[in-house]
Amino acid sequence: MNAKWSHHYDVIKKVSSLSGQWPYQRPITRLFCVILVTLSTISMIIPQIAKFVKCNGNLQCIFETLTSYMLTTVTLVKLYTCYFNRCKMKDLTDRLYVDWNALETSEEYNIMKKYAKNGRRYSLGYSLYCFIALCLFLSMSLLPQLLDVVLPLNKSRPILLTYPGYYFVDEREYFFYIFLHAIVAWEISITGIVAHDCIFVTYVEHVCSMFAVVGFRLEQLFYNHNDQMKTINTNTDDTCRKRIAFIVHAHRKALRYAQLLEDTFSVPFAIQILIVTIGMSITLLQVLQTSMSYCTVLSSFQ
């Protein structure tokens, strides 16, 4: 990898390596990382299933459990999308490197650099947001314990679990062990989501840069590289034909890259949209039920 432009992909390399999605990882390292993320996700699915069984047909309890199912399911879908398509991912990454090495002018380099920097910025911001927001969200379950110290009541406040789950133990006595497991397991599992999304954004930014370079070459077709304001002699038809053929070839390469990208991610994205739609529907139903409960309580005071 050329050091001149490789730093634009350092974030995606580090993030994807954590979940075993980097195409150039050793197979044993990749397998270890994928198994680690999978086991972390399964360790959260088991308490969720136990909680589902413990609901005993209570719809409100079931709906609360199903929403957390959705996130763990999406995690596995994203993780194994990259793992089972690792050959396509390697092909996409190889083509990315080839496209950088095929640049002819500094202007083309600057165009590619602009889009690569966008991809790096989005990947870095998204990664930080996911890891920090997840940690803060899970830490909200510590509020009852904190309030018991700051503003104590006659009795301890009810505990607030990090996510709907049943651990087969006394939840108050083993709360901090449950909390520690949730923090570690979710932070490991979220790497599968972050890596998948950052990889996709990086590839999309790259294919956009390829089309931008083709557009730039087309704009500069009738201008000399050494003097942008001086047109090429009209008698040099062969030169123009060669440059047009080269531009068409580059455009077809960009189209093939976009097609490969679509073939790799279209089906997994359809599955994810279905899961997210179900999750949103359940969440909206919960909001509606909560609103109706509040209305019932208020009407009783009238």
> Rounded distance, CA 80 to CA 75, Å?
9
| Residue 192: partners with Cβ closer than 8 Å, 6 or more residues away | 19, 21, 37, 41, 75, 76, 78, 79
110 inside domain? yes
286 inside domain? yes
199 inside domain? yes
Q: How many domains does the chain have?
A: 1
Identify the domain containing residue 273 by its residue range: 6-300
- Return per-residue pLDDT of the chain as tens, 302 residues: 555 677 889 999 999 999 999 999 999 999 999 999 999 999 999 999 999 888 887 877 888 788 888 889 999 999 999 999 999 999 999 999 999 988 888 899 999 999 999 999 999 999 999 999 999 999 999 998 888 888 888 888 888 888 888 999 988 889 999 999 999 999 999 999 999 999 999 999 999 999 999 999 888 876 654 444 444 455 466 778 888 888 899 999 999 999 999 999 999 999 999 998 888 888 887 777 666 655 664 555 55
pLDDT in tens, 257-276: 999 999 999 999 999 999 98
Integer angstrom CA distances of residue 137 from 41, 142, 143, 178: 18, 10, 11, 15
250 inside domain? yes
pLDDT in tens, 115-139: 999 999 999 999 999 999 999 999 9
pTM across the whole model: 0.85
pLDDT at 294: 55
1 inside domain? no
